[in-house]
Structure 1
């Protein structure tokens, strides 16, 4: 999420738990990177990492990947800014915890 919100293109190298889901989103849903492929022994070799980095930096899809990364950065900034969806959601969450109406009160 940090890389996505900073507009950074990524090489996904999933190994366990939720990393496969993250890799799926990075490569196929958000389209902000590519997934490194394993070899016949289930390993990701340095040559594959190099190929992935070159693809992101100068390959056929590099401009699309960079454009998508910039788009997601902009969306993250908007969401976290005053009045954005994340800003509003955290205020509503705190209001539920405290029982105070923070939505209609002025923001600090």
Structure 2
């Protein structure tokens, strides 16, 4: 075959079943060294309406400051929408006391989630992300509107591509202290989920 086809495939390389809903195999491509959560993210999402949930994840390397975590916590608490938030164990001490319990009626906080499966779920209406390259590709391939909160390295460039080139998201603006305030986060989420931002139609529709 290499005699006739000398090119090599270059991304986006996500399991084909997430792009073609007729394929039923290849469903588990995730690595979870923490073991399965008590309440699985997918079981929780299965109980939510279409495009009603904010998915929040900043990847495996990016760590928010205590101040930024507080702003994000306040935004998710006040926005009135369902949310699924991935918070690493090392970051949990920055959450308010009893936060999990206080938001349990509409929010789920987990230490890990199967991101591709989550983003492909019809309940997801918005992806709040640091715009790391893997997360950007996954959100783009699955057509999930993004609120970009880039932190470092190539993330600002990726966020600009999401906003200005691919038209699948907006970038949350930092203030003079370098923080994205709760009001800005709430505004961006509402614009993406409720407003007319000219974003691409998501493809994570129920089948």
Relative contact order (alpha carbons < 8 A, sep ≥ 6): 1 or 2 greater? Answer: 1
Normalised TM-score (structure 1): 0.58
Which among 106, 117, 138 is matched to residue 2 of structure 1?
138
Report Cα offsets for 1:26-53 as digits up to 9, x if no partner. Answer: 1111010000000121111121111100
Q: Which runs of 5+ in 2 are unaligned?
A: 1-136
Pairing 1:1-108 to 2, within 5 Å after superposition: 1-61=137-197, 64-67=198-201, 69-70=202-203
Larger radius of gyration: 1
Determine which structure has the larger strand proportion and give its number: 2
Q: Distance in 2 between matches of 1:11 and 1:18?
A: 16
Q: Which runs of 4+ in 1 moved over 3 A?
A: none
Q: Distance in 1 between matches of 2:194 and 2:175?
A: 23
How far did 1:66 drift?
A: 3.8
Determine which structure has the larger helix proportion and give its number: 1
Q: Distance in 2 between matches of 1:35 and 1:19?
A: 11
How far did 1:5 drift?
A: 0.7
What is the RMSD computed on CA atoms of the aligned residues? 1.6
